[in-house]
Amino acid sequence: MKTVFVLNGPNLNLLGLREPTIYGAHTLADVEQLCTQAAARNQLALRFHQSNHEGALIDWLHEAGQLQREGQLAGVVLNAAAYTHTSVALMDAIKGAALPVIELHISNVHAREAFRHHSYIAPVAKAVICGLGVQGYSIAIDAVAQVLLAPAA
């Protein structure tokens, strides 16, 4: 069984409390449950993590890269949160590990402040999902299974 990593960046531990008009009322535990169900539906093992620290996210990306080299990784769903707009280090980790990543955002970052319109992750991601609320996580895991793992036509 291949593994999908779902990695969440800073302040996502505050889901349900932080700006519910933007991020909704669901908690990170609710998101993890959605991801657990989506992974099971797609016959994938789930690794779900959140950190407010960039280095922890990089370490998990490196771990995913090791699984990729061993043929055990399905893909990575990355909600880098604010690090999306600032972190060359996360971009380099994705490139360095040659990871199949889907960038994810709960809100539509393009309808928000101008600084949120730029992503360091998007150029190295296979796809970007934004604005679908927490349901975007389930959709992203489905895409990992149905698109990233699909045999080339």
Closest CA to 27 of 13, 41, 40, 16: 16
At residue 82, the pLDDT reads 92
At residue 64, the pLDDT reads 98
> Can you give the pLDDT of all 153 residues of the chain as single tens digits?
999 999 999 999 998 878 777 776 799 999 999 999 999 999 999 999 999 999 999 999 999 999 999 999 999 999 999 999 889 999 999 999 999 999 999 988 776 767 666 899 999 999 999 999 999 999 999 999 998 777 655
Any known ligand binding at 85?
yes
At residue 5, the pLDDT reads 98
State pTM to two decimals: 0.92
Catalytic residues: 23, 105
At residue 69, the pLDDT reads 95
Q: Length of the chain in residues, anyone? A: 153
Any known ligand binding at 129?
no
Any known ligand binding at 116?
yes
At residue 151, the pLDDT reads 65
